[in-house]
Amino acid sequence: MDLKQIFKTNNPIIGVVHLLPLPTSPRWGGNLKAVISRAEQEATALAAGGVDGIIVENFFDAPFAKEGVDPAIVSAMTVIVDRLKNMVMLPIGINILRNDSHSAMAVAACVEAEFIRVNVLTGVMATDQGLIEGQAHQLLRYRRELGATVGILADVLVKHARPLGTPNLTTAVQDTIERGLADGVILSGWATGSPPNLEDLELASAAAGDTPVFIGSGANWENITRLMQAADGVIVASSLKRKGKITETIDPLRVTQFVEAARDTVKEKEQQKSVSSVKLAK
C-alpha cells in the first residue's frame, strides 16, 4: 500500500468518525439528518485539526451483526460517506462493524473511498457476536469484480476477540499479508481505548516487512511518542473526543494536540535514520 500516494505522507494519522445509530440498529433514533449533521461536524473538526485521513464507522450500531448488515445501514453509510467526500479533501475509509467487509467494499467502490478496515480478514476469532471467520478469498475476488482499487487495512488479532487456537503474532501478521493479501495491518489492544504494547508493535512491524503497520486503538497525545516509534501510522478515536469520552463529539483542540505530538515523533524518527545513515556511510 503506497501511503504516500494515498495520504501524502508515509506516516498517516487517521481520525475516526463514529456514526450515531443508523436505521434498523437497536438505538436508531429515526432522524438520519441528525446522523449526517454530526458526521459532518466531526469530519470537519478532524480535517481542521490536521489529520491525514478519516475512517467512518457505524460504531453506535452496537450490538453488531456478525457479518452482513441490513441494507438500510449500507444505504445510509453510502449517503453519509458521499457527503463527507464532498466536504473534506482527505482520503476516506469505511468500516462496517462487526465484519461486513463485502458491504464496505461495495460502498467504497461506489463513492470512490480510498480504503476499508476489516476486523477479521483471515483466521477465526471468537467474539461477542459469535465465531467470525475471515473471508479474504471472497473479498479480494469481489474487489476485482468491481474493478476497484480500494485498499484493505486488516486487523491482526482484533480487539474484543480471541483467536480460535493460539497463533503466534508474527505468523498472524504474515498470514494476513501473504495469504489474506492485506494492503496494511492494524494492531490494537484488547478493547476500545486500549493501546497495543510497544513490543507487539515491534514484532508486527518486523513481520510485516514493507507492508505498513497501523496502531488501531488506545493512542493518545501522551503515548503516541512511544508507540509511533514502531508503527507506520495510527487510527485514533477516543482520545480526540471531548473529555476523552467515547460518546462525546470530536474536540478540535485535542485533534491538534495529538497531531502535533505524532508528527514530532515522526520527525525524530527521520532524524535518527539520517544520523544512522551518516554513521554507516563513514
What residues does each domain of the chain span? 3-281
The pLDDT value recorded for residue 67 is 87
All three cell numbers of 250, joined, read 470530536
CA distance 163 to 155: 12
Cα angle 93, 95, 169 (rounded to 5 degrees) comes to 100
Locate all alpha helices (DSSP H) within the chain, ordered by sequence.
3-7, 32-49, 71-85, 101-111, 136-146, 169-178, 198-208, 224-227, 252-281
Distance CA 214, CA 70 (A): 29
- Residues 20-50 have pLDDT tens digits of 999 999 999 999 999 999 999 999 999 999 9
pLDDT at 280: 58
CATH of domain 3-281: 3.20.20.70
What is the C-alpha separation between 276 and 281, in angstroms, rounded?
A: 9
Q: Which amino acid is it at 113? A: A
The tens digit of pLDDT for each residue in 253-281 reads 999 999 999 999 888 877 776 656 555 55
User: What are 201-248's pLDDT values in tens digits?
Assistant: 999 999 999 999 999 999 999 999 999 999 999 999 999 999 989 999
CA 11 to chain centre: 14
Cell representation of residue 212: 505498513
The predicted pLDDT at position 281 comes to: 58
